[in-house]
Structure 1
Amino acid sequence: GKGPAARSVRLDLPHFTVIGATTRTGSLAGPLRDRFGITHRLEYYNESEISQIIARTANILGTEISEEATATLAARSRLTPRIANRLMKRVRDFADVHGDGSVSLEIATKALNLMEIDSLGLDPADRNMLQLMLDNYGNRPVGLTTIAALTGDEATTIEDYYEPFLIQLGFIEKTPRGRIVTEKAKRHLSSL
């Protein structure tokens, strides 16, 4: 039943282990969070680890790839294995059509440039968001809902997808009054 008529039911269950993962630890209720005996925070991958993942993916795909191309893909992958694997597959496709199927630094660079992924892994949407913030607000703080309105994206997409990487790069600073594009981001945008 529901409400005041609801009754607790006790079930005898065999012992079990619960393993959980979240990017929003603060959203878990304290009593639930406290029941986990071991908590561990995972760190970001580094370029060397991403390079190993790319080399493994290339091997699985049966694609030859140079160390320089692997390093370039790693640098432009947001240090995220899923993105690195996606880029590896697209670069492999490009190599099949525009080359001999092997991925050299030249082929990787041409393919990534065609996809408009810059040397730090920013794509057109990242650069557009930063540029819109600069063009409309300059050095003033911009709220999340305002950024969402400027870009046409959902606020949660900006907060969960774009912001973490841009903050990690030091391109956006979060303040109590909103987000600010940093000087480092301005230098990067002007160098493109």
Structure 2
Amino acid sequence: MTEPEPDLAESETLSAFAQTGDRDVETTLRPRKLDDFVGQPRVREQLQLVLESARRRGVPPDHVLLSGPPGLGKTSMSMIIAAELDAAIRITSGPALERAGDLAAMLSNLAEGDVLFIDEIHRIARPAEEMLYLAMEDFRVDVVVGKGPGATSIPLEIAPFTLVGATTRSGALTGPLRDRFGFTGHMEFYSADELAQVLRRSATILGIPLEADGEAEIARRSRGTPRIANRLLRRVRDYAEVRSDGRVSLDVARAALEVYDVDELGLDRLDRAVLSALVKSFHGGPVGVATLAVAVGEESTTVEEVCEPYLVRAGMLARTPRGRVATPAAWEHLGLRPPTEVPWEAGRFDQGNPGLFG
């Protein structure tokens, strides 16, 4: 059984997961070559060697696994791989491959050298995954015809291809599947300077007058994620066109981001609600994520998948065996004085209300 993705509201501006309005714009903004891809220098260098070596030998490159948080460019990188190989690309996702027959039909239609991209490959159904093992290693699939004692297995040769898998949860991949990838690249969060380059390129493509200080302000609040940076750029553009002269300056960027509830550290309404509930209602924790989600009126998966990763990276929230706790930085960000003694650092998790550990 595969786990569901978090149920995200469309208004969550700082969610790194793709929303309906992002997809058409992202298609326009995607780089076409490795040289145009901003950030991820280590992965780009490694991939360039893999692809160039395969081109010189005249064979498809090893299968590629791209892992990392959502919004960092895994899909864009897969399309670049196909473009660099001058090959066609077929795109699907793990949840869409529920039966082995679905995968067999897709594999049988691949031409030699094609690229098959499977997004969220950790969510692929087990029958399709087991068929994929043989396809990745021997470029062959076994199609079962009939049912019961009369069923027969027919081997079907498929053209040599390159599989590019993307996952936000590399730990959820089974060992046999992970071992069949010849190259694994982990996508890291972007620095503010790298995000500024992304914004500069996007503003040029979209025709947005973007000043350097406005660019830096948006980049600083984008949580290290290009998808969020591009989304904030479009929201700031809307503000600039309606309430200003259309240019995105520092003052315009700050005013626009205030309207959209994005604060100085890149926290939005939901992030602050989580911290506020944790600090004010539960005295800094520890508290279980289910209880915390009820307190802010959201689903547990939304709090865990959307809010927590950035709050942990920002040093405002910590996960402990007994639940979530607020760090002194969280108290200070809310304008409150942190407690003089931090219970979880002293190992005294049992001083809270045991009913909070849901």
Q: What is the rounded CA distance, in whole Å, between the counterparts of 2:247 and 2:237 in structure 1?
A: 7
Aligned residue identity for 2:230: N
**Deviation of residue 152 (structure 1)?**
2.1
Aligned to 2:218: 73
Map residues 48-63 of structure 1 onto 2, 5 A cutoff.
Answer: 48-63=193-208
Larger CA Rg, structure 1 vs 2 = 2
Q: Identify, as 1 or 2, the structure richer in helix.
A: 1
Pick one of 224, 228, 249 that aligns with 1:83: 228
Secondary structure at the counterpart of residue 324 of structure 2: strand
Q: What is the rounded CA distance, in whole Å, between the counterparts of 2:246 and 2:230 in structure 1?
A: 17
Map residues 16-165 of structure 1 onto 2, 5 A cutoff.
Answer: 16-165=161-310
Aligned residue identity for 1:80: T
Q: What is the rounded CA distance, in whole Å, between the counterparts of 1:55 and 1:153 in structure 2?
A: 35
Q: Identify, as 1 or 2, the structure richer in strand.
A: 2
**Deviation of residue 43 (structure 1)?**
0.9
Query: Per the alignment, do residues 7 and 65 of structure 1 end up closer, same or farther by CA in structure 2, a change over 3 Å counting?
Result: same
Secondary structure at the counterpart of residue 190 of structure 1: coil
Aligned residue identity for 2:308: E
Pick one of 155, 158, 175 that aligns with 2:320: 175
Structure possessing the higher relative contact order (Cα contacts under 8 Å, 6 or more residues apart): 2
Query: Per the alignment, do residues 3 and 78 of structure 1 end up closer, same or farther by CA in structure 2, a change over 3 Å counting?
Result: farther
Q: What is the rounded CA distance, in whole Å, between the counterparts of 2:333 and 2:189 in structure 1?
A: 22
Aligned residue identity for 2:225: T
Pick one of 311, 315, 322 that aligns with 1:166: 311
**Deviation of residue 111 (structure 1)?**
0.8
Query: Per the alignment, do residues 188 and 2 of structure 1 end up closer, same or farther by CA in structure 2, a change over 3 Å counting?
Result: farther
**Deviation of residue 31 (structure 1)?**
0.9
Q: What is the rounded CA distance, in whole Å, between the counterparts of 1:123 and 1:109 in structure 2?
A: 14
User: CA offsets per residue over residues 122-154 of structure 1, 9 Å max, x none?
Assistant: 011110111011122113211121122212222
Please give the root-mean-square deviation of Cα atoms over the aligned residues, in Å. Answer: 1.8
User: CA offsets per residue over residues 79-120 of structure 1, 9 Å max, x none?
Assistant: 211111111111111111121111111111111111121011
Q: What is the rounded CA distance, in whole Å, between the counterparts of 1:135 and 1:4 in structure 2?
A: 65
Greater CA drift, 145-154 or 6-15? 6-15
TM-score normalised by the chain length of structure 1? 0.92
Q: What is the rounded CA distance, in whole Å, between the counterparts of 2:149 and 2:319 in structure 1?
A: 45
**Deviation of residue 39 (structure 1)?**
1.2
TM-score normalised by the chain length of structure 2? 0.51
**Deviation of residue 63 (structure 1)?**
2.0
Aligned to 2:93: none
Secondary structure at the counterpart of residue 157 of structure 2: coil
Q: What is the rounded CA distance, in whole Å, between the counterparts of 1:52 and 1:2 in structure 2?
A: 57
Aligned residue identity for 2:253: A
Query: Per the alignment, do residues 3 and 173 of structure 1 end up closer, same or farther by CA in structure 2, a change over 3 Å counting?
Result: farther
Give the paired residue count.
191
Aligned residue identity for 2:182: G
Q: Which runs of 5+ in 2 are unaligned?
A: 1-145, 337-358
Q: What is the rounded CA distance, in whole Å, between the counterparts of 1:106 and 1:120 in structure 2?
A: 17
